[in-house]
Amino acid sequence: QSALTQPASVSGSPGQSITISCTGTSSDVGGYNFVSWYQQHPGKAPKLMIYDVSNRPSGVSNRFSGSKSGNTASLTISGLQAEDEADYFCSSYTGSNPFYVFGTGTEVTVL
């Protein structure tokens, strides 16, 4: 099972919207609605931002939203803020070993 493909970096100005893609296959992203997104600041633990494709955990800003089309999931951050600058990883359930696969990671820069 290969890692899910994400763009290495995405940038935007404060207040803008950005979208991060996460491309897999029909065996992972396309096959299940178990896609999650994690935010990771340098030296910190990952934080769950989106689960089951488009659900936000309690306490996560509604500026974060998720969607999926076919084998590609997306995370959109609207109203970009300086605190959003971090690495973002997607993950998906795969149904077979390894049962979870993560994305290659995207570095978000706020200009």
Partner 1 sequence: QVQLVESGGGVVQPGRSLRLSCAASGFIFSDYTVHWVRQAPGKGLEWLAVISYDGSQRYSADSVRGRLTISRDNSKNTLYLQMNSLRVDDTAVYYCARAESSSWHNFDNWGQGTLVTVSS
Task: For partner 1, give the closer residue by CB, 47 or 63.
Answer: 47
Residue 10's nearest CA partner among 102, 63, 87 is 87
CA distance 12 to 61: 18
**Contact positions toward partner 1, by CB under 8 A?**
3, 34, 36, 38, 44-48, 51-52, 57, 89, 91, 93, 97-105
Q: In the complex, what is the shortest distance from the CB of residue 11 to partner 1, in angstroms, rounded to a whole number?
A: 20
Q: In the complex, what is the shortest distance from the CB of residue 57 to partner 1, in angstroms, rounded to a whole number?
A: 6
Residues 6+ apart with CB under 8 A from 44: none
Helix (H, G, I), strand (E, B) or coil at 40: strand
Q: In the complex, what is the shortest distance from the CB of residue 69 to partner 1, in angstroms, rounded to a whole number?
A: 20
